[in-house]
Structure 1
């Protein structure tokens, strides 16, 4: 990211928005306190993967109660684009992407992911509940106090990034505000575009 900012020649003054994994990267970048960083938007993003997984399993059980053994043996190994169990499909439809019809660019992205999910499986796991990859121990909470620029924490009403998931961001970043987008889940920028853009625009205007 630092190299890209340098390549674009915007290092003297810029803001960044990171969604989900991108928010993790944006938070890491903001902790470096780059001189030109004016503001950071963390959209549907965690501060701790362990906390994220706890909440994901809680949301799953609230939707489809299952025993711990069934979650471990049936849900955790399931690959979302390879005949996943209906319980996992229901979780995605409620907490990941709520639109009945995917936009064309989302279809393309999902097709690419289904064709080669290697990076996702290595870094994350087989599906959104199975956070057992290389990032399983990632936790930026102790470093959030290093962020000095204003931060907007954005999340969907039914997001996997629940209030509990984003709470470390709000309590450890000194200049931080939160906006919840109604009628959306983990992709509020796709599911309810207008209020999402309004929140981002208002935040950026306040930085000017």
Structure 2
């Protein structure tokens, strides 16, 4: 699909003209891909059409490794989402499912009160990156001392692209990103895509989930989410890197909101507890339709 002079990759599962709101999956990162959210397509068996897409810069969409920080903005990704909705003809009847960074992006979109938005799911997403960083420190301090010392040493030296830093990242990821062993194929696909082209992730986020030094480090949506006017479902995991403190502003500020915590999950309840996840999401969709 054309987006400005670039292209956005997308895929549709189900019938966009079914009369039910179309569930649009907004993936995380920024700089990840749709792959790890593929099991949302199972909603189509219940009649809910599902759209996946890769945000510009990654996956099947146009890669732009030479673009600088001035190009990779929140507004760029909001415009891309608007373009997708319009081009598919679904802007009058849709639900956004935003996961991690995608949750903030979807919330920002929803705060503009688009007429066709029927519901919002904010999954495993902080309300701001300052909150995210504050809580990341809490979680990092719980790691074995030698692991955190290795991380701090490489971050101070600017050698976060080293194998030793990567190895030291993994205890955090295995506790707070995905607790499954081995990691599911869909998640591995997205994980490797970030490293195949880290342009967006490193520019906007940083070298790891818990060391956010990119352009988003001071950004959040706490200033606008009170304007969200659709029923909103919050999802988080008991071991999530998006801790309760990072999610709380959504619960406090969005007028019509509910919050489901998945007790056996971290950052990927849709993969870690897929049956309960599908039950919760299906129930929410039935309520808002």
Tell me whether the two structures share a fold, i.e. TM-score over 0.5: yes
Number of aligned residues = 208
Shift of 1:197: 1.2
C-alpha contact 2:141 2:148 (8 A) present in aligned 1: no
The reply to whether residue 104 of structure 1 matches residue 185 of structure 2 is yes
Q: More relative contact order in 1 or in 2 (CA 8 Å, sep 6+)?
A: 1
Q: Identify the residue that residue 288 of structure 2 maps to in structure 1.
A: 207
Q: 1:51 & 1:194 partners in 2: Cα distance?
A: 30
Q: Identify the residue that residue 20 of structure 1 maps to in structure 2.
A: 100
User: TM (normalized to structure 1)?
Assistant: 0.92
The reply to whether residue 93 of structure 1 matches residue 174 of structure 2 is yes
Shift of 1:111: 2.2
User: TM (normalized to structure 2)?
Assistant: 0.67
More helix, by proportion:
1
Query: Displaced runs of 4+ in structure 1, greater than 3 A?
Result: 65-72, 74-83
Shift of 1:116: 1.9
Q: Identify the residue that residue 53 of structure 2 maps to in structure 1.
A: none
Please list every run of 5 or more consecutive structure 2 residues that lacks an aligned counterpart in the other structure.
1-80
Q: Identify the residue that residue 56 of structure 1 maps to in structure 2.
A: 136
Q: Identify the residue that residue 114 of structure 1 maps to in structure 2.
A: 195
The reply to whether residue 171 of structure 1 matches residue 255 of structure 2 is no
Please list every run of 5 or more consecutive structure 1 residues that lacks an aligned counterpart in the other structure.
none
RMSD of aligned alpha carbons: 2.1
Cα offsets for 1:35-74 (capped at 9, x unmatched): 1111000000111100111101101112334799865433
The reply to whether residue 35 of structure 1 matches residue 35 of structure 2 is no
C-alpha contact 1:157 1:183 (8 A) present in aligned 2: yes
